[in-house]
Amino acid sequence: MEAMLPRRSFLKLAGAGLAPLGLGSLGFDSRDRSQEPSSKAALITRQKEPENLESPFSALKGDITPNEQFYVRTHFATPRLNTADWHLTVEGSVDRPLVLTYDDLLGMGRHTVKATLECAGNSRVYLTPPARGVQWEQGAVSTAEWTGVPLSAILERAGLRHDCVELVFEGADSGEIKDPPHPGAALNFSRSLPLKKALEANVLVAYEMNGQPLPRAHGHPARVIVPGWYAVASVKWLKRIVAVTTPYHGYFQTIDYAYWRHENGFVERVPLTELQVKSQIARPVFREQISAGSTYQVTGAAWSGESGISQVDVSVDGGKTWNPTRLLGESKAGIWRLWNYNWQAPSTPGNATLMSRATDNAGNVQPMTRDLDRENYMINQVIPIEVEVR
Ligand X SMILES: Nc1nc2c(c(=O)[nH]1)N[C@H]1C(S)=C(S)[C@@H](COP(=O)(O)O)O[C@H]1N2
Minimum gap (Å) between residue 47 Cβ and ligand X: 12
Residues 75-104, mask of contacts with ligand X (x by CB under 6 A) = x-----------------------------
Minimum gap (Å) between residue 378 Cβ and ligand X: 12
Interface positions, 229-258, toward Mo ion (CB under 5 A) = 232
* Cα distance between residue 14 and residue 123, in whole Å: 38
Does residue 73 belong to the site contacting ligand X (CB under 6 A)? yes
Q: Which of 236, 332, 337, 357 binds ligand X (CB under 6 A)?
A: 236
For ligand X, which residue has the nearest CB? 171
Does residue 218 belong to the site contacting ligand X (CB under 6 A)? yes
What sign results for the dihedral spanned by CA atoms 196, 158, 228, 112?
negative
Nearest residue (CB) to Mo ion, 73 versus 223: 73
Does residue 72 belong to the site contacting ligand X (CB under 6 A)? yes
Interface positions, 88-147, toward Mo ion (CB under 5 A) = 119
Does residue 71 belong to the site contacting ligand X (CB under 6 A)? yes
| Residue 173 partner contact from ligand X, Mo ion, none using kind-dependent CB cut-offs of 5 to 8 Å | ligand X
* Cα distance between residue 264 and residue 268, in whole Å: 10
Does residue 275 belong to the site contacting ligand X (CB under 6 A)? no
Does residue 235 belong to the site contacting ligand X (CB under 6 A)? yes
Minimum gap (Å) between residue 95 Cβ and ligand X: 27
Give backbone dihedrals phi and psi of 299, rounded to 5 degrees, phi first. Answer: -130, 145
Residues 160-199, mask of contacts with ligand X (x by CB under 6 A) = -----------x-x---------------x----------
How many residues sit in the footprint of Mo ion (CB under 5 A)? Answer: 3
Does residue 214 belong to the site contacting ligand X (CB under 6 A)? no
| Residue 358 partner contact from ligand X, Mo ion, none using kind-dependent CB cut-offs of 5 to 8 Å | none
Please give the residue ranges that form the binding site for ligand X (CB under 6 A): 70-75, 117, 119, 171, 173, 189, 218, 231-232, 234-237
Please give the residue ranges that form the binding site for Mo ion (CB under 5 A).
73, 119, 232
